[in-house]
Amino acid sequence: MRTAKFWLGTVLAGALALGYGCGSNAENPTPQEAPQQDPDAGVVLTLTDAQIARVLQVANEGEVMLGQYAVPLATDPDIRAFNEDMVTKHTAVKQRLDALIAAEGITPEDSALSLQLQTEVQQLMQVLQGPNAPAAGAALDLALISAQINAHARTAFIGDSLLTSQVANTALAQELISEREAVQMHINEATDLQSELVIPSTEP
């Protein structure tokens, strides 16, 4: 028996390294979005509150999507329960966020970052459904929980490196803090679950 963490080191690691894909706006950036280059390369994106609100919406939508996909496939009861919890909690957070931005008069606006986050989740789903993905059992459970860690880690990184320092609206800033705390709790829970998963060795 061996602890099965190979998915984070192979396919999902590639998804985590996807980058923001903001180069498409580099030649003709809008005043609100300049410089719109990859923060992973050391250049900070400039985002408005409307764009930050949309990033938060997309992050929650992606984590709900992953949970909905995982629930009927997970065989480990704890993995299934975690994903059910992610659907419930991130749906509630999205509803709370929507109510807040409506009350504050903020109209969410897509940016290169929010669009790239949507693309990343879709690519992650494609990996989970692809020919190299485990068909069932413990290996699939591992892939499902690793996908949640991947998505939450990306949200945490974006919040810490971009959103917190740029948000101007006080209520939105407080919401961002609340969501960041919740995301960290989810990362900790998922990491604990991941560390407990074991699959049979393929070695003779």
pLDDT score, position 135: 77
Selection from 203, 172, 146 nearest residue 13 by Cα: 146
Residue 43, phi-psi category: left (phi > 0), alpha (psi -120 to 50), beta (remainder): beta
pLDDT score, position 12: 41
For the chain, residues with pLDDT lower than 50 are: 1-41, 204
pLDDT score, position 71: 95
pLDDT score, position 94: 97
CATH architecture of residue range(s) 48-199? Up-down Bundle (1.20)
Rounded distance between C-alpha atoms, residue 162 and residue 50, angstroms: 14
Considering the chain, what percentage of its residues have pLDDT values greater than 70? 75
Residues in a beta bridge with 42: none
CA end-to-end span of the chain? 11
Tokens 């068909």 found at: 135
Rounded to two decimals, the pTM is: 0.77
Selection from 173, 196, 185, 191 nearest residue 89 by Cα: 185
| pLDDT tens-digit readout, 133-162 | 777 888 899 999 999 999 999 999 999 999
pLDDT score, position 197: 84
